[in-house]
């Protein structure tokens, strides 16, 4: 079969590829510790599961409105007002099949062919691909670990041109765990007004923050609500990655267009999953206190262990559940006559020789780095980092 040319420009997800390869090695009997998963290792809280079960028992098995149940939208409205200070109406809310689906709908509705989107790097792997799928282009603005992986306002301004239409921001960040400060957000807001840009603000990790850092929804800044599409969801905070519930919040006109787009592609997200999501948004989050304590303990241990390795340095993440170490000090070393000269080569070596699975930095726009998820057990983290340190010590 001859496929459409556009399919040639759609790469496989690097995070999924690493996870798949690690699973294949496990199936062959190899002992592999995975740090690639972008999902909590906890089960979905029982009250959420029970809500979905009850919905099924009560016949919630049919279509809902394309953009979600009215009860679901009302739950979102109350949740974001209470927890983030964002005041919206149900007409400004839509529910999709995961945050990735919200992003796809948004870019298809906001980006014309040839237009550009500012994209700070490191970035989540799907952002630039989805820009291309909409006929546009991501203009990469590099950030550095010494600046907390947050680009300066001057760098963002310098990247603007006559084709620039918007910017994508993600705080806390996947893959770095970086968090934008109030001053960072205010600077971006000024640029957005000066350049007449729209914003996609990915807030999927907004509740997973540590120490004294707290995430602020970009749309709550003065004048930003009418320019911003907020991507929110339940996958990470409530351990619901397989439920596929994403939330888009934005101007009514945009949400209407995204809903029409969704109506021609998927229709509504799964009805019983929406019932579970309503419970997640409206009932107790006491479980999250313990989860954050565990994530924090793992975060500190992982970063300290990484920084103790020769040639490795790692910032302490402010949010999410990823560490993003700089491995450039290791590249160029050798073992058994081969040179480990790229992050991909290093990740291959660590997987094959040490039995640990990391995601290379190149797909995130950061060659020489790697992403490690600490959404796994402390035992896995301890054993995996010992293996990593020993494997790096074997390089010369």
Q: What is the pLDDT of residues 51-90, one digit of tens each?
A: 999 999 999 999 999 999 999 999 999 999 999 999 999 9
Domain 46-282 adopts which CATH fold?
3.40.640
CATH number for the domain whose boundaries are 5-43+287-393: 3.90.1150.10
Calpha distance 330→343 (Å, rounded): 9
Calpha distance 131→363 (Å, rounded): 15
> Whose CA is closest to 238, among 52, 382, 33?
52
For the stretch 193-245, pLDDT in tens is 999 999 999 999 999 999 999 999 999 999 999 999 999 999 999 999 999 99
For residue 155, what are its two tokens? Answer: 């760098």
Residue 142 dihedral angles phi and psi, to the nearest 5°:
-75, 140
Q: What stretch(es) of the chain map to CATH 3.90.1150.10?
A: 5-43+287-393
Rounded to 10 deg, the angle between the 378-393 and 286-307 helix axes is 10
219: DSSP letter: G
Q: What stretch(es) of the chain map to CATH 3.40.640.10?
A: 46-282
Calpha distance 359→13 (Å, rounded): 11
Tens digit of pLDDT at every position of the chain (396 positions): 999 988 888 888 888 888 888 888 889 999 999 999 889 999 999 999 999 999 999 999 999 999 999 999 999 999 999 999 999 999 999 999 999 999 999 999 999 999 999 999 999 999 999 999 999 999 999 999 999 999 999 999 999 999 999 999 999 999 999 999 999 999 999 999 999 999 999 999 999 999 999 999 999 999 999 999 999 999 999 999 999 999 999 999 999 999 999 999 999 999 999 999 999 999 999 999 999 999 999 999 999 999 999 999 999 999 999 999 999 999 999 999 999 999 999 999 999 999 999 999 999 999 999 999 999 999 999 999 999 999 999 999
Coil, strand, or helix at residue 147?
A: helix
Angle at the Cα of 175 (from 107 to 222), degrees rounded to 5?
A: 55
Calpha distance 351→368 (Å, rounded): 16
For residue 220, what are its two tokens? Answer: 């709550």
In 93-180, at which residue ranges do the beta strands (DSSP E only) sit?
93-96, 116-121, 137-142, 164-170
Burial class (CB in 10 A: 0-12, 13-18, 19+), 17: middle
> Whose CA is closest to 218, among 166, 256, 175, 284?
166
Burial class (CB in 10 A: 0-12, 13-18, 19+), 171: buried
> Whose CA is closest to 295, among 232, 210, 372?
210
């Amino acid at each position: 079969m001859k496929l459409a040319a556009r399919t040639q420009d759609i790469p496989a997800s690097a995070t999924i590829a690493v996870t798949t390869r690690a699973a294949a090695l496990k199936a062959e009997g190899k002992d592999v510790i995975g740090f690639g998963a972008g999902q909590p290792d906890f089960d979905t809280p029982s009250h959420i599961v029970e809500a979905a079960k009850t919905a099924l028992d009560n016949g919630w098995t049919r279509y809902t409105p394309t953009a979600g149940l009215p009860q679901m939208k009302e739950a979102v409205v109350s949740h974001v007002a209470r927890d983030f200070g964002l005041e919206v109406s149900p007409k400004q809310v839509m529910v999709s099949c995961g945050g990735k689906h919200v992003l796809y709908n948004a870019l298809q509705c906001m980006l014309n062919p040839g237009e550009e989107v500012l994209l700070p790097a490191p970035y989540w792997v799907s952002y630039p691909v989805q820009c291309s799928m909409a006929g546009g282009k991501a203009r990469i603005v590099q950030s550095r670990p010494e600046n907390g992986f947050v680009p300066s306002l001057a760098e963002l301004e310098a990247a603007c041109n006559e084709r620039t239409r918007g910017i994508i921001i993600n705080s806390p960040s996947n893959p770095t765990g970086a968090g934008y400060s109030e001053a960072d957000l205010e600077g971006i807001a000024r640029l957005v007004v000066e350049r007449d840009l729209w914003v996609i603000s990915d807030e999927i990790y907004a509740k997973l923050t540590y120490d004294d850092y707290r995430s602020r929804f970009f749309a709550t800044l003065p004048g930003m609500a009418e320019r911003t599409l907020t991507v929110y969801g339940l996958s990470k905070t409530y351990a619901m990655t397989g439920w596929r519930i994403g939330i888009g919040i934005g101007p009514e006109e945009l949400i209407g267009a995204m809903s029409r787009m969704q109506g021609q592609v998927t229709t509504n997200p799964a009805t019983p999953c929406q019932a579970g999501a309503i419970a997640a948004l409206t009932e107790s989050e006491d479980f999250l206190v313990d989860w954050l304590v565990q994530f924090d303990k793992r975060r500190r241990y992982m970063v300290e262990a990484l920084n103790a390795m020769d040639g490795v340095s790692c910032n302490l993440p402010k949010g999410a559940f990823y560490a993003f170490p700089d491995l450039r000090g290791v590249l160029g070393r050798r073992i058994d006559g081969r040179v480990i000269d790229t992050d991909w080569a290093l990740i291959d070596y660590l997987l094959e020789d040490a039995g640990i699975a990391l995601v290379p930095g190149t797909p995130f726009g950061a060659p020489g780095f790697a992403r490690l998820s600490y959404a796994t057990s402390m035992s896995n983290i301890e054993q995996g980092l010992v293996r990593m340190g020993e494997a790096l010590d074997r390089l010369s």
